[in-house]
Amino acid sequence: MNSLERLFRLDDRIALIAGAGSGIGRAAARGLAAAGAVVICADLNLPGAERTAEEIREAGGRAQSLLLDITDEHSVTDAVQQIRAGHGKIDVLVSTPAVNVRKRLLSYTGEEFEKVVRLNLKGSFLIAQAVARVMSENRSGSIIFLSSIRSVVVEPGQGVYAATKAGLVQMARAFAAELGSAGIRVNCIAPGVVETPLTEPIKSKPEWYRAYADKNALGRWASAEEMAGPIVFLASDASSYVTGAVLFVDGGWTAIDGRFQPPL
């Protein structure tokens, strides 16, 4: 293995993936394990986390499952303490859980607002804070939040979700500013349209599904597995000088107009 290949390796690093039971979290767990990490597959859906961990072990990787509710401080504290007791450190955190209530803002209830903010923003804060305290002791680590193209572009029905994803970017930047001196890097990945359980309702509406595909330069949706490479990059030494950044993995959605192909 040459020095360039080693930059992307995560051998023996301890990686906690919140939301590993499905979607991007599952893909992240599998990708990090393939790069050599010992993966902690954490999810409120414990059977889903267990399935992901089993898939990794069947492929020759190292993984375990863990019950985790990132919106509950006690659950977060217990999970982080378990990992610390078992492994002595946490090198990588990937936080993926999110929820969206698709409604126009004038129709939103306070309860719905709280639901979206509680998971997408507060939950991400709680798990990052707890893990960063452990990382600070070892003076190294990489924290990766899953933001979205909705942090910079929005459509009707996405207002509160978009606000949380934009807030997540600023929170990542603040963590990066405060934790840089401890050797901890904090970044965001901002996916475009990805086929996950969260977006499954759109797939059942062909016109809507196709419109989203046509909006980006590649003309298609992403698979969850296509997020694994960027996550491994941000977790590894290949991104050792990258912090406070947002990596858009959106097929060009935010780079192009996308509404019309002029007859040039």
Q: Is residue 251 part of a domain?
A: no
Q: Is residue 185 part of a domain?
A: yes
Phi, psi (deg, nearest 5) at residue 148? -170, 160
Residue 13 to residue 164: CA distance in whole angstroms: 30
Q: Which residues lie across from 78 on neighbouring strands?
A: none
Q: Is residue 79 part of a domain?
A: yes
For residue 150, what are the contacts with CB-CB under 8 A and spacing of at least 6? Answer: 158, 161, 162, 165, 166
Residue 50 to residue 158: CA distance in whole angstroms: 32
Q: Is residue 258 part of a domain?
A: no
Query: Considering just the CA atoms, what is the radius of gyration of the chain in Å?
Result: 18
Place of tokens 């698979």: 223
| Catalytic-labelled residue, pool 108, 161, 212, 241 | 161
pLDDT in tens, the chain (264 residues): 777 879 999 999 999 999 999 999 999 999 999 999 999 999 999 999 999 999 999 999 999 999 999 999 999 999 999 999 999 999 999 999 999 999 999 999 999 999 999 999 999 999 999 999 999 999 999 999 999 999 999 999 999 999 999 999 999 999 999 999 999 999 999 999 999 887 888 888 999 999 999 999 999 999 999 999 999 999 999 999 999 999 999 999 999 987 777 777
Q: Name the pTM for this structure.
A: 0.95
212 is catalytic: no
Find the CATH number of the domain harbouring 219.
3.40.50.720
Q: Is residue 222 part of a domain?
A: yes
Q: Name the residue range of residue 236's domain.
A: 3-246
Phi, psi (deg, nearest 5) at residue 174? -65, -45
